[in-house]
Each structure stands twice: as C-alpha cells, then as structure tokens.
Structure 1
Amino acid sequence: MRLRRVRDRIDREYREPLDVEALARGEAMSAGHLSRLFKRAYGESPYSYLMTRRIERAMSLLRRGGLSVTEVCFEVGSSSLGTFSTRFSELVGMPPSEYRDRASRDPDGLPTCVVRHATRPLRKPPGNPVENPGDHPVRNQEAPVAGHVLR
C-alpha cells in the first residue's frame, strides 16, 4: 500500500521536482529502503519510474503536435533540454525532434491503447545499443542516490 502511494504520487506530480528522501519521509522509511522496495515491487527505481512517466507523456505530446520539443520538455517537468533529449533518445531510440517528425507523417486511426503499448519507452542495457528503435531490450534500472533531486 505504501509503495502504491509513492507510485501514485510520482504519477500525479511527475512535472514537479521529486526527491527520494521526501518520498520516503512521507511513508516513514529511509530513502534506501524505499528504493529497494520500489525496485523489487515495480522492477525499476523511483527515479527510473519517474523518467519513464515523463518520457511517455512527452511522446504523447509530441504525437499530438502543436508544441515544440522545448515546450514539451518543460511541460513534462524537465529542467534541461539537453538532459531531456538525451534521456528521450536513450529510452525511445531516437531524438524527440525525429520522433515528432515521424509521428506527424504516420496516419492516424490507431486506437490509443495500441499506440501506448507500441510506443512505451523501455530501457536498454548499458553498452548494448538498440540496432532498430522498434526493438527494445529488457529494461535497465538505475539505483537512485538518496537526496538526489529527480528531474
């Protein structure tokens, strides 16, 4: 139940700067303990979970069109365009501008659930680049640093 509250808070407040210590304090546990339990329950650290949510939201905004990559970056809570673009490229397999351009050329009409499933960002193992952006290997989880601000 406590982990679900943390996950729900990240889902609600993904635009805000979140740190593991504040999340842990809210559940009366240490940051390290929260990180271990969260990773065991959900397969990724709170930081990785937050970044995945932000990138999923960014993908949705880029597919919809009407916003620049910079506007999308700040809309999803990232404070640095460079960091956002790097993380987006790592998770999706292409830069956000290329993703936006491809999405604008693709025909509409696919159900939202199919688009979400097919475009969900997955982490690739370090040192193992994705040959084809459509082939996503198993997630690679990062260990959060206690007190680290999640941006």
Structure 2
Amino acid sequence: MRQVVIALIAGSLFGAGLAFSGMVDPTRVQGFLDLLGNWDPTLAFVMGGAMIPMAIAWLVQKRMTKPAADTHFNLPGTSMLDSKLAIGAVLFGIGWGIAGLCPGPAVADLALNPLPALIFVAAMVAGMAAERFAIK
C-alpha cells in the first residue's frame, strides 16, 4: 500500500508540474522544436529547472541504504549506444514533433483535452503492445 501512495504522490506532483509549466500544451512543445520559426524557449527552462531537484535527489539517494518503498535500488546501468536505442530515440522525436506530446503530458492531457490526448494515448499503448510482440 505504501508503494501505491508514493506512486500517487509522485505522479500527481509530476502531472502538476507538467500542467503548471505548460508542457501539456502541444503547441508549446512544437514551438520549442520550431527552431527556424517562432521559437518558444519554455521547454528549455523546464528541462533546466528539472535538473536541480534531480541533482538533489541523486545526492540524497547516494546516502540512503535502501529506497523508501522497496528493499533495494533498481538503477539502470550504463551501456553503449546501439541501433535499438538510436532508432527508438528517432521515432520518439518524430512522434513528439508531430503530435507535440510525449507519454507524461499525454496522460496529463487526458484530463485537460481528452479527445486528442486519447487518440495519442491509444496509439502509444498500441505501440507498446506491438513492441512486446516484436522479434527481439
């Protein structure tokens, strides 16, 4: 139960941050990606601002013996760039540029702009399902 409460708090905080920063508005994201047009630097400030609490979180994590809601840390390792990662990053970027949404803002947008967000989320879930069945 503790894990569910922590997940709800973290998700609510993340969603509130997305809404407060305007990142649930696809036109703001597309404005950031429009380098040769009417460029909107807001997303750069959001990403830069996110590095401060993340840096603090890494410092706190280094001093902890275990996480608050698990028995041990499950941190990803580092690996070299491979074709799967590069192709995935390119597909993510193309989809982000076209739709102006990525997974976090899309889910938050379900409450603010349901129909376009639902179309995106349905396509996202279909893509996740297709990846599960793809030959690895």
Query: What is the TM-score normalised by the length of structure 2?
Result: 0.30
Larger radius of gyration: 2
